[in-house]
Amino acid sequence: MRATFRNLGADTKILFGSLVLIALLSIITVLTAPPSEAPRLSVRSDKVDGAMVLQRWLQRNGYKVQEVLSLSKQLSGVKVLFVLEPIISYSDSEIRLIADWVQKGNTLIVSGAPYAVNNLVQTFDLSLAYPLVETDPIASAAPTLLHPTFDAASVEVAYSIRTERADAVPHLFISNLPVLMSVPEEKGRVWVSGVSVPFTNLGIQNDGNAKIIANLLASIPASATIGFDEAAHGFGDETALDFNSWLFSTPPGWGILLGVAITMVYLALRGRRFGRALPLPDDRLRRESGEYIQAMATLFRRSGERTEMLKHYESQLRRRLAERYAIDTTLGNDELLKMVTYHNPSIDETEFRELLARLRKPNISEAELVRTVSDVDTFMKQLNNDHV
């Protein structure tokens, strides 16, 4: 028992030490790990396909630029919202929030792949189709981009825009398919671009691409606040995360999950149970009395010691007679017969004498043994009835 308690104590120390080590490793990993690489068209990315240059270009032109990390908290404070290649889908409540914000007189600019932005732009009866791989320059429609005047620009990949709205205005085409379109929404306006190159760090250095962006903001005052939805790039307000999001999307949460997983694996490998073992229902069932009688009878039968069995039943019979009539159990058969018939004249003396003789018969067969035991049982039952 003491050894068992010592083993349990040692196991607990090992497990506790392992969990402490995991916690320390998680903290060190968080502190020493390099910042995660920002996704495509994020203003936090200085890569070729990032949008950091666009952010700084807008700031140099007098706009106030901020990252929108929570639509519910920050959207009302911006005049223009850029949604560029989101990697997190918008919920229905967020889409309604953006639609209401646009209708109040604000501007929404959306660009990205169909799978990334269609759930948002479909609210305005617009959608992006499969990509067009083209090397032809972008062609302008009837003069709509005039501030400044757009000349030309070239791209490699673009998405065509589809809509059935009569008030939709196409601005740029590739192979007669619109790739830049705007629609009015009450007091506001929505711009959808099937070409994302103009917004990238590399693309905005092209004069034609810069003119496209300038036209998107032509009606926006220079002092307006422009927001970039970085929450859609995975940089949301961490204080707004619920417990599940924190647990599954942050390094401390991952550390906790890893600790729990290692604990479960450790317990499984060590074979420890979480409590006292409970027997199965079948094991808890008690055996019937008849099963024990049958088992004993089977053992007696296999042993073949019929004489010993007769002695056992004779002993049982004499003990019962001694209890009933207060006689000595060691009396001979004749004396026992006299004493029993004296106390109970109703007993058949001949049958009782024959029964006593059979209980001492040598080399008895199995059939005779069974019959004799049955007669002894019947005789003892008769004694009980006579006593009552």
User: What average pLDDT does the chain have?
Assistant: 82
Nearest CA-CA partner of 15 in 262, 291, 212: 262
Calpha distance 268→264 (Å, rounded): 6
Using pLDDT thresholds of 50, 70 and 90, give the confidence band for residue 108: very high
**25 found inside a domain:** yes
**351 found inside a domain:** yes
Domain extent, residue 79, equals 52-234
- Cβ atoms within 10 A of the Cβ of 349, count? 12
Instruction: Give the number of residues written for the chain.
Output: 388
Helix (H, G, I), strand (E, B) or coil at 295: helix
User: In this predicted model, what pLDDT tens digit does every residue of 322-341 receive, in sequence order?
Assistant: 888 888 888 888 888 888 88
**277 found inside a domain:** no
Calpha distance 42→86 (Å, rounded): 9
CA atoms within 13 A on the CB side of 198: 28
At 207, list the tokens. 């004069």
Residue 250 shares a structural domain with residue 137: no
Residue 211 shares a structural domain with residue 252: no
How far is CA 309 from each of CA 213, 312, 369, 378, rounded to the nearest angstrom? 111, 5, 8, 17
Residue 130 shares a structural domain with residue 266: no
Calpha distance 160→149 (Å, rounded): 22
Q: Does the pLDDT value for residue 145 go beyond 90?
A: no
Nearest CA-CA partner of 231 in 50, 49, 54, 91: 91
**241 found inside a domain:** no
User: In this predicted model, what pLDDT tens digit does every residue of 21-37 receive, in sequence order?
Assistant: 777 776 676 566 566 67
User: In this predicted model, what pLDDT tens digit does every residue of 247-298 receive, in sequence order?
Assistant: 676 667 777 787 778 777 777 776 655 566 666 666 666 667 777 777 777 7
Number of domains in the chain: 3
Residue 162 shares a structural domain with residue 294: no
Residue written as token pair 């890893």: 258
Calpha distance 9→382 (Å, rounded): 66
Residue 7 shares a structural domain with residue 134: no
Specify the DSSP element, H or E, that contains 264: helix 251-270
**154 found inside a domain:** yes
Strand partners, 82: 109, 228
How far is CA 329 from each of CA 148, 316, 322, 336, 339, rounded to the nearest angstrom? 131, 10, 6, 8, 11
What is the number of helices (H) and of strands (E) in the chain?
14, 11
pTM: predicted TM-score of the whole model, two decimal places: 0.57
Strand-pair category, 126-133 with 157-163 = antiparallel
Calpha distance 226→208 (Å, rounded): 21
Q: What is the reported pLDDT for 3?
A: 44
Asked, as a colleague might, if the bond just before 148 is cis with ω within 30 of 0, I would say yes
Q: What is the reported pLDDT for 6?
A: 47
The CATH number of the domain holding residue 75 is 3.40.50.880
